[in-house]
């Protein structure tokens, strides 16, 4: 990739970008003075797709007009409402239609999937996660272990990077599975790690886990809508995600899950009426008969107002296509990396340097003690939205659906200025 550290180059790259008009389909966040922010926070909460307003308003109008009759009579009937997102989720996850379901929220879905897939037995009792996992994932796993009457200090394995490193080598995961796999019941791994932005090879991890006789699930909070996925062909047992990060579906949006079709009739589950087969659901009889596929894992009727924005957002992804977004993303993040190396040489990028081993996010630190926090505060006060992770990491995500090469140039320029002002 050849880049230049000039505004002119960035503008030419934008002019040549076939996806550039998708930015107009979003309401981009603004500073209190009304100017548009340089928004690099899409890894945390995506901006509002304009069509999401209409989608939510349609549901409010149908609620007002129909109330209970909306279950069958709304323009998008509420009973099968989750079906509106099946095609979009299939496109992003590489699943069969019967393997995906929008439901609950992410941590709840971790618990639901662990109820089905974490079945400690005999000497195979441990769960493997990455050291420094997202707190909620760790809380969920540790509490599940304890709920089975086992000791999380013994049963929770956390694989750390080599001393002094930030990233976990793919080969280290494989080695651990080879040596200790017989004690591991379940591997729960991130598709993209939230702090470092490291993207893992989901197929490779799945094969290594299966060779060792373990089940394997992925938390795709930072993967879905960021990197293309092929969960069915990769033979992943299950996966979970939220929809408010790269899927731009708003705070508290509905989450989702993938369950490989070979498990759908065999795994135990925590059941509710919305997973009961539709034909007899409303007979309200005691015996549970699961709806086919992942839909049989639903427990409650879906939060329509928290799902409507996802319908609008997935339409954008189906129009843009995840493969084309990824191709732009590799260049956009490559450009940010190129500019940071030139305009902000004091920062240390901790995300992988190999584009294939990262998503769109770059994480970086400023080694001098205390300086990173000051630089971050300066950026916030100067129209940049990115974020800070203790103890010293700044995360910035150029998102191909709405960020431009000019955004990336201005971000790097402003970061360079912050470093000069706060030298």
Ligand X SMILES: *Cc1c(COP(=O)(O)O)cnc(C)c1O
Helix (H) or strand (E) holding 404: none
Comparing CB distances to ligand X, the nearer of 42 and 190 is 190
DSSP bridge pairs for 198 = 358
**Least spacing, CB of residue 148 vs ligand X, in Å:** 21
**Least spacing, CB of residue 11 vs ligand X, in Å:** 33
Confirm if 182 and 214 have CB atoms less than 8 A apart. no
DSSP string covering 279-301, please? HHHTT--SS--BPSGGGGG--S-
**Least spacing, CB of residue 338 vs ligand X, in Å:** 27
Comparing CB distances to ligand X, the nearer of 166 and 222 is 222
Residue 189 engages ligand X in binding (rule: CB under 6 A): no
Alpha-carbon distances, residue 39 vs 14, 35, 42, 100 (angstroms)? 16, 11, 7, 30
Alpha-carbon distances, residue 368 vs 164, 377, 379 (angstroms)? 16, 15, 17
**Least spacing, CB of residue 44 vs ligand X, in Å:** 8
Helix (H) or strand (E) holding 329: helix 322-343
The only residue of 25, 222, 260, 276 in contact with ligand X, by rule CB under 6 A: 222
**Least spacing, CB of residue 144 vs ligand X, in Å:** 15
Q: What would you report as the CA-atom Rg of the chain, rounded to the nearest whole angstrom?
A: 22
Contacts 24+ apart (CB under 8 A), 333-336: 333/358, 333/359, 333/360, 333/361, 333/362, 333/398, 334/1, 334/3, 335/1, 335/3, 335/10, 335/13, 335/398, 335/405, 335/408, 335/409, 336/362, 336/396, 336/398, 336/408, 336/411, 336/412
The only residue of 52, 199, 221, 344 in contact with ligand X, by rule CB under 6 A: 221
Residue 257 engages ligand X in binding (rule: CB under 6 A): no
Residue 387 engages ligand X in binding (rule: CB under 6 A): no
Comparing CB distances to ligand X, the nearer of 132 and 416 is 132
- Residue count at the site for ligand X (CB under 6 A)? 12
CB count in 10 Å sphere of residue 328? 23
Residue 223 engages ligand X in binding (rule: CB under 6 A): no
Residue 37 per-residue DSSP state: P
Confirm if 234 and 202 have CB atoms less than 8 A apart. yes
**Least spacing, CB of residue 15 vs ligand X, in Å:** 34
Comparing CB distances to ligand X, the nearer of 78 and 134 is 134
The only residue of 63, 98, 120, 136 in contact with ligand X, by rule CB under 6 A: 136
**Least spacing, CB of residue 366 vs ligand X, in Å:** 23
Residue 332 engages ligand X in binding (rule: CB under 6 A): no
Comparing CB distances to ligand X, the nearer of 238 and 409 is 238
Residue with tokens 């076939």: 18
Between CA 169 and CA 160 the distance in angstroms is 10
Residues 22-81 that bind ligand X (CB under 6 A): none
The only residue of 105, 125, 206, 361 in contact with ligand X, by rule CB under 6 A: 105
**Least spacing, CB of residue 258 vs ligand X, in Å:** 15
Residue 247 engages ligand X in binding (rule: CB under 6 A): no
Going through 123-261 in order, the beta strands assigned E by DSSP cover 126-130, 156-159, 184-190, 215-219, 238-241, 256-259
The only residue of 84, 93, 107, 116 in contact with ligand X, by rule CB under 6 A: 107
Comparing CB distances to ligand X, the nearer of 107 and 125 is 107
The only residue of 39, 40, 81, 134 in contact with ligand X, by rule CB under 6 A: 134
**Least spacing, CB of residue 300 vs ligand X, in Å:** 15
Which stretch in 6-14, 130-138, 208-216, 284-292 sits in contact with ligand X by CB under 6 A?
130-138
Q: At what angle do helices 170-180 and 202-211 cross, to 10 degrees?
A: 10
Residue 227 engages ligand X in binding (rule: CB under 6 A): no
Binding site for ligand X (CB under 6 A): 105-107, 134, 136-137, 190, 194, 219, 221-222, 242
């Amino acid at each position: 990739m050849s880049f230049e550290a000039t505004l002119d180059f960035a503008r030419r790259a934008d002019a040549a970008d076939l996806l550039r008009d998708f930015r107009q389909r979003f309401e981009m966040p603004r500073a209190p003075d009304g100017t548009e922010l340089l928004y690099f926070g899409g890894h945390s909460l995506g901006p509002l797709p304009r069509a999401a307003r209409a989608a939510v308003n349609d549901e409010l109008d149908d609620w007002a007009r129909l109330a209970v009759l909306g279950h069958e009579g709304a323009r998008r009937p509420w009973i099968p409402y989750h079906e509106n997102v099946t095609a979009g989720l299939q496109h992003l996850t590489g699943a069969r239609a019967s393997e995906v379901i929008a439901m609950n929220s992410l941590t709840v879905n971790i618990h639901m999937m662990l109820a089905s897939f974490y079945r400690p037995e005999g000497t195979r009792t441990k769960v493997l996660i990455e050291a420094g996992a997202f707190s909620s994932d760790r809380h969920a796993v540790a509490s599940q272990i304890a709920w089975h009457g086992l000791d999380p200090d013994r049963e929770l394995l956390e694989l750390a990077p080599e001393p002094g490193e930030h990233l976990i080598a793919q080969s280290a995961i494989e080695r651990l599975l080879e040596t200790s796999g017989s004690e591991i019941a379940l591997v729960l791994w991130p598709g993209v790690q939230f702090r470092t932005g490291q993207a893992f090879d989901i197929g490779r991890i799945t094969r290594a886990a299966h060779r060792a006789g373990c089940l394997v699930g992925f938390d795709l909070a930072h993967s879905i809508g960021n990197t293309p996925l092929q969960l069915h062909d990769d033979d992943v047992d299950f996966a979970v995600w939220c929809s408010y990060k790269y899927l731009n579906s708003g705070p508290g949006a509905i989450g989702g899950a993938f369950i490989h079709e070979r498990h759908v009739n065999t795994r135990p589950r925590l059941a509710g009426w919305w997973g009961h087969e539709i034909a007899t659901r409303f007979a309200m009889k005691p015996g549970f008969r699961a709806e086919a596929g992942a839909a049989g894992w639903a427990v409650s009727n879906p939060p329509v107002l928290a799902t409507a924005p996802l319908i609008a957002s997935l339409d954008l992804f189906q129009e843009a296509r995840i493969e084309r977004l990824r191709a732009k993303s590799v260049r956009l993040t490559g450009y940010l990396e190129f500019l940071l190396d030139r305009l902000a040489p004091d920062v240390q990028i901790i995300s992988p340097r190999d584009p294939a081993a990262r998503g769109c996010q770059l994480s970086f630190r400023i080694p001098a003690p205390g300086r990173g926090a000051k630089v971050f505060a300066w950026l916030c006060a100067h129209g940049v939205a990115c974020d800070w992770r203790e103890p010293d990491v700044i995360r910035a995500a150029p998102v191909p659906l709405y960020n431009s090469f000019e955004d990336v140039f201005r971000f790097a320029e402003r970061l360079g200025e912050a470093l000069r002002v706060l030298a």
